[in-house]
Amino acid sequence: MRKLLLMAGLCGTLATAHAQEIAPYGALPSKAQLAWQDMEYYMFIHLGPNTFTDNEWGHGDEDPKVFNPSRLDARQWARTAKLAGMKAIIITAKHHDGFCLWPSKYSTHTVRESAWKNGKGDVLKELSAACKEYGLKFGVYLSPWDRNHPAYGTPEYNQVFSNTLNEVLSSYGPVFEQWFDGANGEGPNGKKPVYDWDLFHHTVYKNQPNAVIFSDVGPGCRWVGNEDGIAGTTNWATLNVKGFTPGKGAPAQSVLNEGNMNGEKWIPAECDVSIRPGWFYSPSTNDKVKSVQHLLDIYYGSVGRNGNMLLNVPVDRRGLIYSADSIRLMEFKRFRDESFKTNLALKAKVTATETRRNNSKVSAANLTDGKPGTYWATPDGVLKGTITLTFAKPASFNRLVLQEYIALGQRVKAFSVEILENGAFKEIATATTIGHKRILSFPDVTTTQVRINIQDALACPVISEVQLYKAPGLLAVPVIQRNKQGEVSITCSSPDPELHYTVDGKEPVYSSPKYTGPVSLPAGGIVKAKAFLEKGKKASATVTAVYDIAPAKWKVTFTDGQAKGADPEKAIDGNPESFWASVIQPEAAKYPHEIQVDLGEELTLKGFTYTPRHLVEKSGTIYTYAFYVSEDGKNWGEPVAQGNFANIANNPVTQSIRFNKAAKGRFIRLVAVAPANEKEQWASVAELGVITK
């Protein structure tokens, strides 16, 4: 202890010759990481052969000629990102299919071999120039997993990948972030290598000393543990990394989601998420662009919880950002601007208890000066303190923004918020960590005094900003559901909206049919709905649901088991929240598993859909499948489709699989061949559907 005090004293003396200097605590951010945390929100772009083949994970054997955007314009992407308020763009320079968006010397599967610009194009060159023009930073995703490169799986591959990295990182100017995917699957030769991460990191830093390296475990920033873009309500920027590697060797997803208190290294969370259900463009998701409400939830769950938000906007087959996505980005920007326009804390008088003395840098007034570089702090060893904001006239607000001065480490463990109401203080919120930024949302309150009680911290709290805002309300997007019988219902969580809908694919307007009760749609179709207020003056975003034939006449004829409460009929009840799971005794469970269904009539099937259990919890997700169609439910013949549900482990959304050729029959059978998570040897199905259209 004495030694520590001596050291802290010494550091203080060296820095400003002042006894009350604040000693840094724990793992600290580098300069590059500090700048990175300030970026908060930036764009991800997935583009490649998958864009043209409607795949999430290409196999690497695609004809490179399929990559042929008709009017690729990287300036349009950069302009969109800039107008959306984003600070950078990270692009999939090389995804798992190995296809390089630049003419790499180390591959024969690149834009050079594609039809685009007669093989003379270079997406990285165009994008890096566009980013420069629009004042955006530029980053690259390079997947070590390469399903095309013949050397993959051999010891030579690490050097090939390092050369590839070196080529990219030395050719296109500054790169702020290097994104490494953790996936390590098989190559074209069926083999998996052991990645040489030290070599890869060395290659990055040699070329780009200021780059922040992303992977499951950093070293620059870490995966948040899901592809929903949501960090834990507790989120430490510090992580224990000893003994861990990216991919299968990474810490549990729950640990990545929250970080480790007192973790060894500063490795903050980056929350990656796509604006659509998948990472790559597909015409089938043009009407599934996330709503402003959903994007706001992600913003509060990422930037508002000490993480950065990396929002994927897939470029379409023309090589442009599709209109629905860019319109949504602008709506989201407008709503954020509106929400954080007026910082009401600027009008308040700020006082604090326990303020550190004899340090001219520390002052309660710094909390509301709008400068993240100035702060308030308590004395050494004092782990609590109360900040009070007093208004001359009552103020109304519903958002609180707090920031720690993280250059000295992340410290706060618990805090509460109180307001003065009828002469007494009333608690309106409690929370744990702050870090770079914490945003709390609560219902509107009106008061003359707010108290923020820092209740516990790892070392004396050092807080740089307190802000209060009144965000406008947002008309909730309606929810469309269809039951087993094929009756469609439309609901909305906002009070008293008028709901209007269409079933002809047209955009609903105020004069479209008004929703008064369930609409029968057993044969399927497109339902679009919108909520209105004030006789149509205010409108929500449109929500679209596309249905095939309803499972009204269907019955499950066979499964190889059933978990308690997971009745097989729940796989065909139209409700994605209920599910069938195959297991009775988890110890005895082992793949494969299966479910057979009688459709009640003969149908011509063009494909099937599988919705994994994902809403409350994901568990029993199927990865490898075989699907059969039969006339009599006894003779199944060969599977009409088989393969893997790409990326389903991390992004468990509905999978639509089209058959190579239509199949006639009355019975269907899904065989779960291998699980997404080897520890879960049971299969679950939230919904099974057919494609007849």
> In the complex, which residues of this chain contact Ca ion (CB under 5 A)?
570, 573, 575, 578, 687
Burial class (CB in 10 A: 0-12, 13-18, 19+), 3: exposed
**513: preceding bond cis by omega (within 30 degrees):** no
What is the rounded distance in angstroms from the CA atom of residue 183 to the CA atom of residue 223? 12
Length of the chain: 693
Question: Residue 406, SS3?
Answer: helix
Q: Closer to Ca ion at the Cβ: 335 or 554?
A: 554
Residue 288 in contact with residue 325, Cβ under 8 Å? no
In angstroms, the CA 614 to CA 374 distance is: 43
Residue closer to Ca ion (CB basis): 126 or 687 = 687
Upstream peptide bond of 219 is cis (omega within 30 degrees of 0) = yes
Smaller CB separation from Ca ion, 56 or 687? 687
575 binds, among ligand FUL, Ca ion, none (CB under 5 to 8 A by kind): Ca ion
Q: Which is nearer to Ca ion, 356 or 593 (CB)?
A: 593
What's the closest the beta carbon of residue 226 comes to Ca ion, in angstroms? Answer: 22
Indicate the burial class of 120 (C-beta count within 10 angstroms; 0-12, 13-18, 19 or more).
exposed
Q: Nearest residue by C-beta to Ca ion?
A: 578
Helix and strand numbers (H, E) in the chain are: 10, 32
Structure token digits, residue 549: 């034939």
Taking the complex as a whole, the smallest distance from the CB of residue 182 to ligand FUL amounts, in Å, to 6
* Pairwise CA distance, residues 42 & 310, whole Å: 5
Residue 438 identity: R
In the complex, what is the shortest distance from the CB of residue 233 to Ca ion, in angstroms, rounded to a whole number? 29
Q: Looking at 118-276, which runs of residues are DSSP E strands?
A: 137-142, 177-180, 212-215, 221-223, 238-239, 265-266, 269-274
Q: Which strands form 487-491's sheet, in the order they lie side by side?
A: 479-482, 487-491, 519-520
- Least distance (Å) from ligand FUL to the CB of residue 264? 24
CA 512 – CA 501 distance, rounded (Å): 6
Interhelix angle 157-169/197-207, nearest 10 degrees: 20
CB of 692 to ligand FUL, least distance (A): 29
What is the nearest approach in angstroms of ligand FUL to the Cβ of residue 60?
13
CA–CA gap between residue 360 and residue 390 (Å, rounded): 23
Contacts of 183 (CB under 8 A, 6+ apart): 96, 143, 145, 247
Which of the choices ligand FUL, Ca ion, none does residue 183 contact, using the CB cut-off of 5 to 8 A by kind? ligand FUL
Min dist CB 576 to Ca ion, Å, is: 6
When the beta carbons of 418 and 687 are compared against Ca ion, the nearer one is: 687
Q: Which is nearer to ligand FUL, 278 or 508 (CB)?
A: 278
Q: Minimum Å distance from CB 670 to ligand FUL?
A: 23
Q: Identify what 216 binds: ligand FUL, Ca ion, none; CB under 5 to 8 Å per kind.
A: none
Query: Which entry of ligand FUL, Ca ion, none binds 181, CB below 5 to 8 A by partner kind?
Result: ligand FUL
Q: Which residue is nearest to ligand FUL (CB)?
A: 279
Instruction: Identify what 647 binds: Ca ion, ligand FUL, none; CB under 5 to 8 Å per kind.
Output: ligand FUL
Structure tokens at 335: 């709503």
Q: Which helix (H) or strand (E) holds 37?
A: helix 31-39
Residue 368 or 647: which CB sits closer to ligand FUL?
647
Question: Of ligand FUL, Ca ion, none, which one sits near residue 578, judging by CB under 5 to 8 A according to partner kind?
Answer: Ca ion
Residue 56 contact, options Ca ion, ligand FUL, none, Cβ 5-8 Å cut-off depending on partner type? ligand FUL
Q: Which is nearer to ligand FUL, 44 or 515 (CB)?
A: 44
Binding stretches for ligand FUL (CB under 6 A): 56-57, 181, 183, 272, 279, 647, 650
Kindly tell me which of 386 and 650 has the beta carbon lying closer to ligand FUL. Answer: 650
Kindly state the smallest distance separating residue 575's Cβ from Ca ion, in Å: 4
DSSP per-residue string spanning 431-477:
E---TT-EEEEEEEEEEEEEEEEEEEESSS-EEEEEEEE-PPP-PPP
Question: Which CB atom, from 114 or from 647, has the smaller least distance to ligand FUL?
Answer: 647
CB of 138 to ligand FUL, least distance (A): 17
Angle at 620 between CA 618 and CA 621, to 5 degrees: 75
Nearer to ligand FUL, 57 or 67 (CB): 57
The least CB distance from residue 464 to ligand FUL, in Å, is 32
DSSP reduced 3-state for 175:
coil
